[in-house]
A and B are shown apart, each in its own frame.
Chain A
Amino acid sequence: MLLRHTDSNVIEREALTVNPAKTCQPIGAMYAALGINKCLPHSHGSQGCCAYHRSTLTRHYKEPIMSGTSSFTEGSSVFGGQSNLLQAVNNMFTIYDPDVIAVHTTCLSETIGDDIPQIVDLAREKGFIPKGKYVFHCNTPSYVGSHVTGFSNMVKAIVDYFAEPVEYKTGKINIIPGWVEPGDMREIKRICYQMGIDTIMFPDTSDVLDAPQTGTYDFYPKGGVTIDDIKKTGSSQKTLALGITSSTAPARALDVKCSVPCEILDLPIGLAATDRFVDSLRKAANVEVPGFIEDERGRVLDFITDTQQYLYGKRVALWGDPDQLVSLTEFLVDLEMKPVYIVTGTPGKKFLTRIEKALNGKVPEAKVKQGANADMFLMHQWIKDEPVDLLIGNTYGKYISRDDDIPLIRHGFPILDRVGHSYFPTVGYAGALRLLEKILDAILSKMDRDSEEESFELVM
């Protein structure tokens, strides 16, 4: 057994986290910053933070992840990291010529208390920031929140630094997509485009973290929202923010700063959440939903009606990030499956009530845990106590999957051992179809493998 020390006997823990269902803030900030065109993220801390974040993001996206680090030593830890950050800004602009540098902090620089805006001002005074170029920052102390918090903080910083309040409105719709894959962002843009809606999406990692192989390496791939477009988000008529945990803060900040009203929606994963998203788009832009999008929706419905017998009543354990979990839970409940164990290490006030709403009273046996000591070890102990039919979560689930012979659908972050998650969306109706195919395939493959010879079915 790979997880041979895990049994069903749950001993209360207060201090020890085992097999976390979260990681730390800065990696989320780095991912968000990569969704800006010609942006070089910068990690203000020890080298290891940057190396770890780059490695993990690279393993997930199978793409280059570039970022600078302040390379703190013992000296900088005592005297502060000002001189390191000044050097870094000068070096990065000289060597790598980005349009913008997005600085995030770490537990080290936060504990020291480095004042980033003051250091950036000093860099500007010293002439380290070329004309027309930008350095901005967000604080991402690793001992608060999780990677999702860091993502949200960086997206909010984009608004705080760049969005420009103007009197007139352009009629565009801002989309804050939340922490989803590049393929998901591409799909959200496609839906908007096909509905004839002019949008600004930020951040946007499509064409950055799913860049083509051309034989020529572009340090800055063509994708990412431009600073010019970010400035214009202040003149849009509305913001649709997807994912309450990751996108509320930037959407509200934009409303406060530029009076762009916002609507905060669940991630459009699954049928009902996509319905709400499309409906909100329709209303916001005052357009009609085109027939072929209704056809896409119809194909999702068709899939479900054709396969409902295999999905009904199946018990599912899921772990990961709040926004994904809420939408997935709702979708599974709509499929009449039973999301019985739901775990996230990411803290946040509204998660439990949102999950309760998504469960809609249909799964009274569901166990939900969030925040401190809400980890994959606990979830696995629940599974040992009463098993499930399906796992949905990141790659770390493969150890549970193998030990307890439960099919795993990889979803969320990080996925380190498969390719495709960054290309094929799970948002929208197209994404729902893909999720359904994966769920059905997992369930039927296990049925095929386990059935008696006489009941082995050709047609299913």
Chain B
Amino acid sequence: MSGNNKKDANKVVDELLKVYPSKVARKRAQQIVINQKDKELNVPEIKANVRTTPGIITQRGCTYAGCKGVVLGPTRDILNLTHGPIGCGFYSWLTRRNQTRPPTDKDDNFMTYCFSTDMQDSEIIFGGEKKLAKAIEEAYNIFKPKAIGIFATCPVGLIGDDIHSVAKKMSDKLGINVFGFSCEGYKGVSQSAGHHIANNQLFKHVIGKGKEKPKGKFRINLLGEYNIGGDAFLIEELLEKCGITLVSTFSGNSSYDGFANSHNADLNCIMCHRSINYVADMIEKKYGIPWIKVNFLGADASAKSLRKIAQYFDDNELTEKVEKVIEEEMAKVKKAQKEIRPRNEGKLAMMFVGGSRAHHYQELFNEIGMKTIAAGYEFAHRDDYEGRKVLPTIQIDADSRNIEELTVEADPVEYQPRKTEEEIKALEKAGLEFSGYEGMMPTMENQTLIIDDISQAETEKLIDIYKPAIFCAGIKEKYTVQKSGTPMLQLHSYDYGGPFAVFDGAINFYKTVDRMVNARIWSFVKAPWQTTGKPVLEAELVHN
């Protein structure tokens, strides 16, 4: 099945909106856009990062999930304590496949544990601060962590527990870093608010606390890479091959000390713009480290990203090494593409996931000749769709207003611009973009569909209309799509496969998609007697 490419996008949009009550249809119409680029790569405006319509059946999760689950979840040696009833801690226990590799058997790793205050009705009535303080003390006595993070769940905000003052008190008492995240699920409109809260608290309480000057000539931080299925391991390996030192990753395979020392790197490289751009901006203001957007998903994108880093450091030896690595890796990649591309050329893909994945994975599909006919994010903002140039025009609404914006100033001691203004200008002139992200829409073809916060009904309709060769989203969509006879690849968990990052990961991705799209099992969906069209009686007569 290669999909139906020849559809009038306007008619498709009408079809998608048809099922809704009129008020809902009007709202959804602003979140469903037909892509149309002009020469300057301006694209139509899309409504994003707005409330989900109740009852529509959304992919989205909550602020707690974005904060505890996404950003802090992958850090192995901070003891993450959920303050709330048991569920939130339970559901976020090991379910995101963030791999971690402690340096030795003796090093802390709390990621396999779930810590919760298991709030009961008595705490809802009389307050939970006492239990929280006690739980922190018990956690310290048993596990002796170097830091404890406290994550607030919905009822905590409502009953008014002050987790930050408890954190402060316990930090003083125990002599370790204890800090809180007010990431109650109802804040914001999706996981996105939780990312922002996590960024803020990491910046306030951890980043810059380290005193260790990392060795190495070319020192970078990798931001917004969560090491799903081992992606970050492949990136770490590749950077090492090129002679680039990775000071810290936010937050795949990460450690407390990595965060604490991240202000000693010389460049921040952002993978997932949505979840981590706040930290990049704040580090730049306080410590003078510039940031660039990179993407290690897709072989060409990976090569491009490595070249950007080399260009930034402007060192012949590094550039040569990077080119040599790219050449070696690309030889393997081209071989795989040559074999796999002919079987998949022209087939259609759809991606509705995350806040950057729906963009990044298009690179990989392109590399085996597949086209993304429709895409969208689960929790991204307009800048992730249209590019950061629209930032000044994004309106602050009631939901985004209640997420704290930190005021950051240059650190009187530690601020040290890594490049002079002239150097930055020269690099920009040579084509290196700083603090920029082009967004997803300018890279997609005209007449493709861009859908923000897609609903279950829209998902079903799109599949019905386009019959794509593959559909990518998350676990909640996995089996509804697959039951409709369409191969479905989870791009949060990689269907427990992967890794898909950089060159080896790209080859793995091509093979994964090839296996799925051309799977033999789909030819068995109809039983022989369901396809022949012959009356059953005829067969009986023969046997008689």
Contact = CB atoms under 8 A, between A and B. Distances in A.
Interface of A: 1-5, 11, 13-20, 22-27, 42, 45-49, 51-56, 58-59, 62-77, 84-85, 87-92, 94-96, 106-108, 111-112, 141-144, 146, 211, 213-219, 345, 372-373, 377, 396, 399, 416
A14 B134 contact: yes
A108 B186 contact: yes
Contacts of B240: none
A345 B114 CA distance: 14
A70 B58 CA distance: 10
Contacts of A25: 87
Interface string B455-470: 1110010000000000
Nearest to B84: A107
Interface stretch (B35-43, B315-323, B479-487): B479-487
The listed residue with most A CB atoms (<10 A of its CB), out of B91, B478, B485, is: B91
The listed residue with most B CB atoms (<10 A of its CB), out of A27, A58, A144, is: A58
Interface string B98-141: 00000001001110111111111101100000011011001101
B138 A46 contact: no
B426 to A, nearest CB: 46
Interface stretch (B46-54, B273-281, B408-416): B46-54
Nearest to B145: A5
Nearest to B493: A59
Nearest to B476: A54
A219 B481 CA distance: 11
Contacts of B134: 14-16
B54 A52 contact: no
A141 B84 CA distance: 12
B55 A62 contact: no
B243 interface: no
Given A69-B52, A71-B54, A77-B158, 9 more contacts: A5-B142, A15-B135, A46-B185, A66-B456, A73-B186, A77-B186, A107-B153, A142-B84, A144-B121
Given A17-B86, A23-B87, A69 B54 contact: yes
Nearest to A55: B475
Contacts, number: 269
Contacts of B482: 213
B66 to A, nearest CB: 9
Contacts of B78: none
Contacts of B481: 217
A18 B456 contact: no
Contact of B476 (A3, A49, A51, A373): A51
Nearest to B154: A108
B62 A51 contact: yes
Interface of B: 19-21, 24, 51-65, 81, 84-95, 105, 108-110, 112-121, 123-124, 131-132, 134-135, 138-139, 141-143, 153-155, 157-159, 184-190, 398-399, 402, 455-457, 460, 474-476, 478-485, 522, 525-526
Contacts of B116: 16-17, 20
Contacts of B91: 23, 52-53, 55-56
B84 to A, nearest CB: 7
Contacts of B475: 55, 58-59
A412 to B, nearest CB: 14
A57 B372 CA distance: 30
Given A11-B142, A18-B113, A95-B457, A49 B479 contact: no
Contact of B131 (A11, A15, A146, A219): A15
A142 B186 CA distance: 15
Contacts of A45: 154, 185
The listed residue with most B CB atoms (<10 A of its CB), out of A4, A15, A77, A345, is: A15
Given A11-B142, A48-B65, A77-B186, A20 B89 contact: yes
Nearest to B137: A15
A63 B61 CA distance: 19
A85 B54 CA distance: 7
11 contacts: A5-B143, A18-B114, A24-B88, A26-B87, A51-B476, A56-B91, A71-B53, A73-B186, A96-B57, A213-B525, A373-B118
A142 B113 CA distance: 21
B54 A16 contact: no
The listed residue with most B CB atoms (<10 A of its CB), out of A25, A63, A95, A143, is: A143
Nearest to A70: B54
Contact of A58 (B55, B157, B476): B476
Contacts of A92: 55
Contacts of B64: 48
Nearest to A5: B143
B113 to A, nearest CB: 6
Contact of B399 (A16, A56, A74): A74
Contacts of A345: 86, 118
Contacts of A18: 113-115, 142
Given A46-B185, A49-B185, A111-B124, A22 B86 contact: yes
A371 to B, nearest CB: 10
B53 A11 contact: no
A46 B85 CA distance: 14
Contact of A91 (B54, B81, B84, B87): B54
Contacts of A217: 460, 480-481, 483-484
Contacts of A77: 154, 157-158, 184, 186
Nearest to B478: A58
B90 A51 contact: no
Nearest to A78: B158
Contact of A27 (B87, B95, B109, B525): B87
A73 B399 contact: yes
Contacts of A59: 95, 475
Given A46-B185, A106-B154, A71 B51 contact: yes
A16 B117 contact: yes
A63 B186 CA distance: 28
B494 to A, nearest CB: 14
